[in-house]
Amino acid sequence: MMRPFILFLLALPLLAACATPGYDYSARMVPTFPEAVAYRDVSVGRFRGPAGDVAESEFARMLDETTLDGAHWFGIAGSDGRRGVYDGEVHIESWEAETRFERKRECVEYDAPFDCEHRAIVETECTEETVEVSVTATLRDRETGRRVFTQTQGGGANHETCVDVAQYEDEGQTLGVWRDPVHSSYSAWDAPYGMVADATVEAVRRFRTDIAPYDATVRAEIMTKGLIPEEQNDPRFQAAVDATKRGEMLGACAQWDALARDWPDAPAILHNLGACAEARGDMTTAQLRYARAAEIAQHIPLLKDQQAQPIFDALARVSGRRMDDTFLNRATDSPEMPDVPAAPPAESGS
């Protein structure tokens, strides 16, 4: 379990370097199944299959820990008495193992702590087992029995054991892998219960964003290149981009504002001003800025669609954010079911 996590940490600087610069902000997100928002007074029924009891307890724990704006989300019923129950099943997808054969130089005898007397070559067999499960959860209306939705999430668990199988004198032998890995597949029904339970917990936790609103970090990305000569050639444009990369949002946004006064019809500048408004939570202004930038971009001769695509993506994102905010404000003000938001129409640069 540790090796993938370590690789992820090592990759973070590369991911940060490759990310498009912009301004991060926190936003409330509508769950994958918006209709589930109406069911805030719910219970957990039976989850069939191996580790079903684990799925039940973990699902109940997740419901109890779910919050929005600092308040518990579940446990509130609508005036019409809506009630729901979650049930489901656990299925073991696979139980597999990979055995690796490694040769390394180790200290096998010490004179004192940290004082190695004798080093030797040690051959080791390391077996990493992996169990994959799928958990299916269904939300049912308790009064009518109607199935509101069904969703399946997967989870996995890893366990590694290493055994020294040989030791001999160091005579300059080649270190590293001394034999090709061996892959094995076993009967899923015989998978170790502890690993099945761990994988089930991981799968259940993935239902969090399916069933209730949640907070997420959203990036309002900026355009790093101008689309018309005026903004391309103004050195302040690159200075504002550089300030954004350094995390200086206030300084960068002040620069975009100054540029917009001189170049009011520059689409990339308007887009970046929209990003500033979006990060401040002013979605109305952001949508107006993005819409104006899109309108101008559509009339630039010989402009490639790909160059202007960030503008149309931003306009679609903010339109969706405004719809989601309206939906969640109604849901927060009243536990009764608000109108489910429809997906915003796809924007086109053509």
Would you say how long the chain is, in residues? 350
What is the model's pTM? 0.79
- Residues pairing with 221 in the sheet: 22
Same domain, 179 and 232: no
- In this structure, are residues 196 and 52 in contact, taking their beta carbons and an 8 Å threshold? no
> Do the domain assignments include residue 149?
yes
Q: Which residues contact 76 (CB under 8 A, 6 or more apart)?
A: 40, 41, 335
Residue 255 lies in a domain: yes
> Do 101 and 122 belong to one domain?
yes
Give residue 6's pLDDT: 36
Token pair belonging to 48: 């069939």
Cα Rg, the chain, nearest whole Å: 28
Range of the domain at 50: 19-215
166 and 27, same domain (yes or no):
yes
| Exposed/middle/buried for residue 141 (C-beta within 10 Å: 0-12, 13-18, 19+) | middle
Are the C-beta atoms of 193 and 232 separated by less than 8 Å?
no
- Looking at the structure, do residues 207 and 264 belong to the same domain, yes or no? no
Low-confidence ranges of the chain (pLDDT < 50): 1-17, 342-350
338 occurs within a structural domain: no
Are 132 and 96 part of one and the same domain?
Answer: yes
Q: Could you tell me if residue 260 is inside a domain?
A: yes
- 76 lies in the same domain as 207: yes
For residue 274, the domain's CATH number is 1.25.40.10
On whether both 139 and 174 belong to a single domain, the answer is: yes
Q: Same domain for 117 and 264?
A: no
The rounded distance, in Å, linking the Cα atoms of 310 and 305 is: 10
Does residue 10 lie within any of the structural domains? Answer: no
Q: In whole angstroms, what is the distance from residue 158 CA to residue 133 CA? A: 12
One-letter-per-residue 3-state SS of the chain: CHHHHHHHHHHHHHHHHHCCCEEEEEEEECCCCHHHHHCCCEEEEEEECCCHHHHHHHHHHHHHHCEECCEECCCCCCCCCCCEEEEEEEEEEEEEEEEEEEEEEEEEEEEECCEEEEEEEEEEEEEEEEEEEEEEEEEEECCCCCEEEEEEEEEEEEEEEEEEEEEEECCCCCCEEEEEEEEEEECHHHCCHHHHHHHHHHHHHCCHHHHCCEEEEEEEECCCCCCCHHHHHCHHHHHHHHHHHCCCHHHHHHHHHHHHHHCCCCHHHHHHHHHHHHHHCCHHHHHHHHHHHHHHHCCCCCCCHHHHHHHHHHHHHHHHHHHHHHHHHHHHHCCCCCCCCCCCCCCCCC
- One domain, residues 226 and 114: no
The pLDDT score that the predictor gives to residue 245 is: 97
- Do 180 and 117 fall into the same domain? yes
Is 109 in contact with 116 (CB distance < 8 Å)? yes
Judge if 142 and 288 occupy the same domain: no
Number of structural domains, the chain?
2
Q: What is the model's pLDDT at position 70?
A: 85
The reply to whether 350 falls in a domain is: no
Say how far apart CA 222 and CA 267 lie, in whole Å: 11
- State residue 19's pLDDT score: 85
In a domain, 346, yes or no: no
1 assigned to some structural domain: no
Residues 252 and 173 in one domain: no
Token readout for 244 is 């954004």
Amino acid 50: pLDDT:
96
Among residues 103, 100, 76, which one has the least CA distance to residue 212?
76
CA 228 to chain centre: 35
Q: Which tokens go with 279?
A: 């990060």
How many angstroms separate the CA atoms of 185 and 187, rounded? 7
